[in-house]
Structures are given as structure tokens and as C-alpha cells.
Amino acid sequence: MNSLRKAAAAVALTAVTAVSAVSAQAADISVVMNSVASDGQMYVPFGDVKPFEVDNRTLVSARDMAEAAGMQVTWDQATQTAILTLTPNAYSDKPIERYAAQVISQVGGFGLGLQPTNITAALRLYDANAVIRYNFTDSEGDVVAIGKNYEMDALAALVNDGTLVIPIRHSMEMFGLNVDWNQDELCAYVSIPDDPKPLDDIAIIANHGEGDYSTPLTPPENYSNIYIPTDSGGDYDMIDTSGMTIGDYIGKFKITHYCPCAICNGGHGGNTAWAGKLIPGQTIAVNPNTIPKLSWVYVDGYGFRRAEDTGGGIGEYHIDMAVPVHSLAIQLGVVYKDVYWAQ
């Protein structure tokens, strides 16, 4: 728990006190794993913080619960987010890892030739909006996430000495596990379903780089209202696209994001290969063998964009989307989107 305790120091004590006050009221609550991390029944060995109830919702130590379920839990300090990770392995002696392999294989990678990596659930502190991700790796080694928002009925919180607690039901049900409650025994039973399957209504979503898991999953239609640093050339007059319509389908493209900084654009700064200054919300970098220079396309979820730039690392079905600042390029990560000609 060391990393979680260090993270707790940055959180206001007033937010912890309300939960800490009830933590001793239900110390007789127990949790049983039914052939999850190992065969047979196992009572979860909770440490200093025992399971307790708040508004009829049972909260448990994230570390103790994750380890008993055969998962790992890490902490992203920058976003105050706990990440539970389940690793699939069809040949594991752990039922939970064999289950994960069955589930992620049914996601299928949306026909993109992706290789499964793991399943993660991200729970931000004091936020009911969690995110479940079935993570894959594409042919270029980039992580591609397929998942959805998941609204919890209780919040992750910090109690006592900084122990992170999470709602037992939704933190397990996000992974597709069954959670049954026996009121007479005051016991929660966690088990693997007979018919393993991923959650409904999942889609390719942004991986959000290093831990920015609770930001919107859909990029804004344009970035004209976001501050553009002075070293990127200042404000721009974007071309009016109001008269354009969506034409023929080109294909599903890998979408990455870049800005005028030296990390993203090297010595080119705010300049493009074919159209002068880079314009966030308009400029895209493409492979001219697929999309000719200065062509207009429509990118699902982004809108109309113009091929004004290129680069040596851009493959045939790859678009690098210009954004104003590096933090946004990291946040939006890697996605795959349908692309159409504009007309």
C-alpha cells in the first residue's frame, strides 16, 4: 500500500473524514471468492481496513480486493486514479486469467488485426464515472483501447491512513464477474459467470496516454476554442467547411495526435509540408499515397480536415491529427476512426 498511502497525502482530510467515521461500523462483513484467483472458496484476507457500508454500498480495500481477485492495482498520482488490471492467459492455472482470455477474445479487435494485452478498470477518486478498457496492441506497437464509460453507484475514496477503498459490486461487475450478497451472513460472494462475455455497447475509445482516464472519450469537433501557444504561430483563420458534405468511404484509419512542439513536430515547429502554418482543428498529416496533399476528408468524431502535412512515420491508413498543445496530444492518444472523402 506504500504508493497509495503516499498519494493520500495530497487529498484533503475533510474528504476522508466522512468515510472514515463509518469504517468501524461493519467490520463483520466478509467477502468470498468462488474459484476466482484459485480453485475453491477463499475468504478475502483484509488487512487494517475491513469492508464497511456507506448508504447500503459495500466498500473494500482496493489492494486487498484486487489481489484476492487475481488482479493488480496501481495508482496514477497525477489524475488521482486507481487502475485495476486483469491479465488474460488461456493456459493459466488461475481461473480468472483463463476467464479474461475468453472475454477479450470475444471483443475481437474490430477486425484490425489487434493483439490482446489486458483488461483495465480505471476509478478516479471521488468520481462515479469509471472507464473499462479491453486493451490491445496494433501492428505498430501502439495500445488501442476498446471499452466504455461505466457509472458506479459508489465512489472510490481514501480512509484512515490513506487506504484506497472501492465499491465491491461495480469494481467487480465492470470485469463481468458476478457479485451476490447474502444478508444473513453479511457476505459478498464473487464468482466467474458460466457464460463469459465482454460488456455491451463497447467501442474504440481513446487510451488517454499516461492515466488521464476520466476525460471525455470523444474529442471535440474542433479545437478553435482551446488556447494556442504563441510559439505555434498565434491565432489562425480556419477555412469555412459549412458547405462541405460527406462523400465516399475511404476506410478505417489509425488516428494519432500531434502539436507544433519539438517533441511532436521536430524542427518544423508550427509549419506544415504543404500549406504553411499548422492549424489545429484543420490540419492533418497523411500519407499522400492514400490521401493526396491538400485533399479534404471527413473523420468520424472530428469533422472535416485537410491534408496539409506529412511525415516519414505515417503509414497508408494513418492520420496524424493536429492539436494545439502537447498535453492534448497525449490525452487523446490513439484511436481508430472511419474516414470519408469530403465534397
pLDDT tens, 201-242?
998 887 764 334 444 434 444 444 433 444 444 566 789 999
Q: Bridge partners of 61?
A: 165
Nearest to 280 by CA among 311, 234, 243: 234
The predicted pLDDT at position 290 comes to: 97
Extents of the domains making up the chain: 2-205, 230-342
Cell numbers describing residue 308: 496539409
Please report the pLDDT score of residue 306 as a whole number.
97
Please state the three-class secondary structure of 270-300 as a single string. Answer: CECCCCCECCCCCEEECCCCCCCCCCEEEEC
Q: What tens digit of pLDDT does each residue of 78-132 get?
A: 778 889 999 999 999 999 999 999 999 999 888 888 999 999 999 888 888 899 9
Which residues make beta-bridge pairs with 74? 83
Stated pTM of the model: 0.78
Name, in order, each residue with C-beta under 8 angstroms of 55's C-beta and a sequence gap of 6 or more: 154
Report the CATH superfamily, name and number, of domain 230-342.
RlpA-like domain (2.40.40.10)
